[in-house]
Amino acid sequence: MDRFTGFPDAALDFYDDLELDNTKSFWESHKHVYDEAVRLPMLALTAALADEFGPAKVFRPYRDVRFAKDKTPYKNHQGAIVQVGSATGYYVEVGSPGVRVSGGYYHAGGPDLSRIRRAIDVAHSGEELERIVAELRRDGFEVRGDQLKTFPRGYPPDHPRIDLLRYRSMSMAKSYGFENLHTADLLDRVRDDWRALRPLVEWVRARVDVLG
């Protein structure tokens, strides 16, 4: 595996062009650009992080359009995840807006979501999560996720942590734009932010089914 040296301009150009022409013919004529400018650097980036965080899954570029209204066949970004628990882990992606990192839980199933909500409900563990989220916000992260408009069944609407209880999925994300995109310094930045996200990821991991 080659050493990570950043994502070249060709990666951004590829996704800019793909947004204008998301077709099989464009993909087939530019697949070599994707392989060299997007996929190989992402593999190098995640390989350099693997010793500390674990091996990553680099997602396929093809969209699942079976039940989607949008039938464009290819994703407009390249993502990778280090999964440490059930729908829980560290994430990084590159696309035309640049690079974004995040960490948390994604699409938690019924039993896992129930465990997370019970932990939020309990004062000790719920207040711990509040402190983690507040510290990450101070560090420039934003809360993202699928959130109920009302409140989950079994919890009062005036619960002191009702905003956290509403989430069906929750991650803390930070967008870099194009900063450090073309240099090896991006590796250090992703590593530092994944380290900052570790308390959140470990909080969730302790409360969901851990992968065997």
* 98 Cβ contact list (under 8 Å, min separation 6): 12, 175, 176, 177, 178, 179, 181
Q: What pLDDT was estimated at residue 98? A: 96
What are the distances in angstroms from CA 9 to CA 29, 34, 174?
18, 12, 21
| pLDDT reading at 212 higher than 50 | no
Give mean pLDDT, residues 57-81. 92
Contact 125, 119 (CB under 8 A): yes
Q: What distance in Å separates the CA atoms of residue 171 and residue 153, rounded to the nearest whole number?
A: 22
Phi, psi (deg, nearest 5) at residue 88: -135, 135
Q: What pLDDT was estimated at residue 87? A: 85
Q: What pLDDT was estimated at residue 64? A: 87
Amino acid at 147: Q
Q: How confident is the model at residue 171 (pLDDT cuts 50, 70, 90)?
A: very high
Q: How many residues does the chain have?
A: 212
Mean pLDDT (the chain) is: 94
Q: What pLDDT was estimated at residue 86? A: 82
Q: What distance in Å separates the CA atoms of residue 102 and residue 88, rounded to the nearest whole number?
A: 11
| Residue 11 tokens, joined | 């990666």
Q: What distance in Å separates the CA atoms of residue 128 and residue 198, rounded to the nearest whole number?
A: 13
Sequence-ordered alpha helix ranges (H) in 21-150: 24-33, 40-53, 110-121, 123-138
Which residues in 156-181 are b (16+ Cβ under 10 Å) and which e? eeebebbebbbbbbbbbbbebeeebb
Contact 78, 93 (CB under 8 A): yes
Residue-wise pLDDT tens digits, 81-140: 999 988 899 999 999 999 999 999 987 778 889 999 999 999 999 999 999 999 999 999
Give mean pLDDT, residues 68-90. 92
| pLDDT reading at 65 higher than 90 | no
Residue-wise pLDDT tens digits, 41-56: 999 999 999 999 999 9
Q: What pLDDT was estimated at residue 209? A: 64
